[in-house]
Amino acid sequence: MEAGLPLEWYRRVFSPEYNPIFGANSITAIRNSFFFGFSTVLISTLLALSIAYIMYRWEFKGKNIFDALVMLPLASSAITLGLGYIRAFHKPPLNLLGTWYLIVFAHTIIAYPFVLRAISTVLKKIKPSLKEAAMSLGANELKAFLKVELPLAFGSIVVGAIFAFAMSIAELGATYMIYKPEYTTITIAIYRFLGSRQLGPASAMSVILMLVSTIAFILIERTGEEIW
């Protein structure tokens, strides 16, 4: 019967009714995903900018080691990171399991290496003479970076930010291990629907996730930044 009523699945997805399958309603899951996504964009972009500035504008011993350390999240799966969060934040004074900010932190750790990759690739292409010219006119090093180099890298920042949003909204492994029902996301709702064999609502929610991800990657393509 459900197979002939696909629109009914979308009605259920956008219903404000409490769903005992995942302990919240579908609208809350969608809202949570967007909240975590935008929070991840903000924090991961600021973090990646800071690291990129240190890596490509400062000279210090052990820079290669520092470069390897900041990219370590790429070498770990989301499930491994989730297990690490459980071990680190399961008891006082850092009993943060189930909090929304731990979920944002988890998403940020997963996403920021991609933002860093986008930003650092462009920063390496910017000629040092531009910064030197700004400093010769009275700007200090930080002001030269903010006024000269940062605007030139704006396209790559946008690409990295959108990529971080796409990574966050599609993340499941780490989130599933540390969330509470009130912080259910789209991916967790899909997983729960599939686990209870409700393929119709799972498919409808998956379409929403695919649409958001498609829009994100279209925006990345439209920026015209050749950084990957």
Give per-residue pLDDT as tens, 180-203: 888 999 999 999 888 888 888 888
- At residue 6, the pLDDT reads 67
Q: What is the pTM of this model?
A: 0.85
At 227, the pLDDT band (50, 70, 90 cuts) reads: very low
Judge whether residue 228 has pLDDT over 50: no
Alpha carbon distance 51, 187 (integer Å): 30
Tokens of 202: 């799972």
- At residue 224, the pLDDT reads 53
Tokens of 98: 């189930």
Question: HSE-up of 220 (CA within 13 Å, CB side)?
Answer: 20
* 8 Å CB contact between 67 and 55: yes
The separation between CA 219 and the C-alpha centre of its own chain, rounded to angstroms, equals 16
CA distances to 53, 198, 214 from 74, rounded to whole Å, are 20, 33, 23
Judge whether residue 223 has pLDDT over 80: no
- At residue 1, the pLDDT reads 42
Regarding predicted confidence, which is higher, 209 or 132? 209
CA distances to 73, 92, 100, 150, 193 from 103, rounded to whole Å, are 15, 18, 5, 29, 21
* 8 Å CB contact between 26 and 189: yes
When the candidates are 3.30.930.10, 3.10.20.30, 1.10.3720.10, 3.30.1540.10, the CATH number that belongs to 2-223 is 1.10.3720.10
Q: Where are the domains of the chain?
A: 2-223
- At residue 209, the pLDDT reads 92
Alpha carbon distance 45, 89 (integer Å): 24
Give per-residue pLDDT as tens, 91-149: 888 888 888 999 999 999 999 998 998 888 888 887 777 777 877 877 777 788 778 88
Residue ranges of alpha helices (H) inside 124-198 are 128-136, 141-144, 150-152, 154-169, 173-178, 186-195
